[in-house]
Structures are given as structure tokens and as C-alpha cells.
Amino acid sequence: MKALSKFLFFAAFLGILITGCTSDKNLPLKSKNPIHLKVGVYNYISSAPYFIARDEGFFAEQGLDVELVEFGSASSEMLPALISKQLDAAGHTLNVSVLNSILEGENVKFVADRGYMNPENCITDAWVGNVEKIENGELNEPASIKGKNVSFTGTGTIEFTIDKLLAENNLTQSDINVTPVSDSAARVESLKNGSLDVSILSEPWISKAESSGAGKVWIPVSQIVPGMTFGVTIFGPTLLEMDPSVGTAFMKAYIKAIDQFNEGKTDRNVEIIANYTKLSPEDIKSSCWTSFKPDASIDPKYLDEFQKWALEKGYIKSAVTVDQMYTSLYVDNAKK
């Protein structure tokens, strides 16, 4: 009887050990070799958490071998590469092209924030006005944009914000002269020579416009859409169809990198960002840095509002549900 009791005790003890070793979902991936993932990025400060996660070994800690693929000016090629499985994830923008892809049956989803409009932060994105017109009072209030030469790119968050600003002042795009200038450096020059009255700019170009005397911040974007996610991390079909533990591992590393980024302009953060963006450390230190939510979550409020705007503009043919475009699964799992 004693022998039987001892046997049962050790059997139970062994079972606890085995269970403890195999059921911890917070452990990194257990594959023999790191799982290789390709992630599309733009070499901007807003992509810094990807840079940090890779260079500081946070992806590697989670059993991932992440290759960052820079798209530069070929931004229109990133989403097709994600859909065709040439990429597994992408640091993209909130854009109608993603909604249209979902409507066409493609398996892509927003999974995490990649920068939001934080009214309590310094100004990362703004409608910048010609210095002379601001100082002489021609641009003294939002309604004074009427009749002005304004530059922005369409079908995304930027056009959404200008339409929102115009609507709040009983105006539409027909009340302004839309003057497309795609390159940020050219926009600054156009503000300086007076061919543009107002232009959208992001850092470090806001700082460059102000330091060169070309323009001044007229209205911060965060004032128009406080709390709105502008940049997004998107998973494509490979990650969405894999075991969720792979996407969760990616998100753990990403959130850990956000923690380091949110420490601010440390020497190490500046070094990593300079390496990818090719900006000087001085430019990086003087620029306003993107705001990231510590848990990388997205507020669905603006997703719905953005979609309604896209529907009214005719940029999408029908609506999709928030669940079709966004999943918090990986962020939720990472937090657990």
C-alpha cells in the first residue's frame, strides 16, 4: 500500500512538471529554427519600433528572424506584396486601398497602432502655412483657407483630415485650389516661394520649414482628429493563417520595442533611427517623435468614421465591419 502511495505521489508530481513545461503560452516559439518573416517598412521615425525590435534582438528573443524590407517611394507596391505573400506584415497607413482589398476578399487586417495623433504630444503632423500669410492675417482662422492653394495627397488619412476641417467650416474641396506636390522638400520650397499657401507636412519637414522661414504650423492634425491612429501594422494572409502564437510573438517584440522608443531620445534610440532613416542625429533629436500607444491598440472609433468618409467619397463601394478590417487578437494575446 505504501509502495502504491509513493508511486501515485511521484506520478502526480511528474505530471505537474510536464504540464508546467509545456503549457506556458508566454514562452517564445519552440521551433528548432527561427521563423523567418518579411516586414515592409518606410524608413521614417514612425517605423522606429520595427527598427528597435530587430536591432535590439527583441524579435530574436521571440524565435523570429525578421527581415525589414524598405519600400521608399514605392509605397503603392507594399500592399500588393503583402497580399501576394511576398511580405508577412507591413507598417502601412490607414488607407482606402486596404478597405478595397478586404472588399475584394483579400485576407489582410489591421492588427496594431503604428502612431496616433496625440494632442498632448509635440506636433508630428500639421497643416503648415506660408509665413507671410500667417503673419499678415490672411491665415488667421480655419475658414480663411477658402480660396487658398493647398497641397495634400488623396484617398487616405490626410485627405480625411482636410475634408473634416473644411466641413467644420461649411466648406468643401471646391472652395480651395488643390495643388498636388508629392515631395516634402518641394512642398517646403513651394511654401517659401509663395506658390503654396498651405501644405500638409510631417516631421522632420515641419522643423525644416520653420527653420528655413518657409512656413509655420497653422493647424496641427492632432487638433482635427485627436487620438486617431494614422499608421498601422497590417498582417497579411501568411501570418493571419498561421498559428496565432507566431503573430503574438511578433506583437510581444513590437510592444517591447515601443516601450524602449517611449523612453525618448536616448543615444541608443537616436543611433538606431539614424541608421535606418539616414537622417542626421541632430535632425532626429530636433524632430518631434511619433506617439505610440504603449499597448499598440487601435481605437475603432476612427476606423468607422474613416470608412463612412470613404464611402461618401465613392472611394469604396460598400462598407465592411470593424471586425473585417481589424483584429485585436495579437495585441490581446501579447498583453496576456
**C-alpha span between 44 and 65 (Å, rounded):** 21
Q: Is residue 25 part of a domain?
A: no
**C-alpha span between 240 and 223 (Å, rounded):** 34
The model's pTM: 0.85
Q: Is residue 27 part of a domain?
A: no
pLDDT per residue of the chain (336 residues) written in tens, 0 to 9: 444 344 434 444 434 333 333 334 445 566 668 999 999 999 989 999 999 999 999 999 999 999 999 997 667 899 999 999 999 999 998 989 999 999 999 999 999 999 999 999 999 999 999 999 999 999 999 999 999 999 998 778 999 999 999 999 999 999 999 999 988 999 999 999 999 999 999 988 999 999 999 999 999 999 999 999 999 999 999 999 999 999 999 999 999 999 999 999 999 999 999 999 998 999 899 889 999 999 999 988 899 999 999 999 999 999 999 999 999 999 999 998
Q: Is residue 156 part of a domain?
A: yes
Do 207 and 234 lie in a common domain?
A: no
Q: At CA 187, angle to CA 181 and CA 188, rounded to 5?
A: 175
Give the pairing of strands 215-220 and 125-130.
antiparallel
Last residue of some domain: 193, 224, 255?
224
Domain count, the chain: 2
Do 144 and 214 lie in a common domain?
A: yes
Do 208 and 234 lie in a common domain?
A: no
- DSSP state string for 151-190: E--SSBHHHHHHHHHHHHTT--GGGSEE-----HHHHHHH
> In CATH, what number is assigned to the domain containing residue 157?
3.40.190.10
Q: Is residue 2 part of a domain?
A: no
Do 152 and 94 lie in a common domain?
A: no
Q: Is residue 16 part of a domain?
A: no
Q: What is the DSSP letter of 28?
A: P
Do 129 and 198 lie in a common domain?
A: yes
Q: Is residue 7 part of a domain?
A: no
| Structural domain of 67 | 35-116+228-335
Last residue of some domain: 174, 190, 224?
224
Max Cα separation, the chain?
A: 99
Last residue of some domain: 165, 195, 224?
224
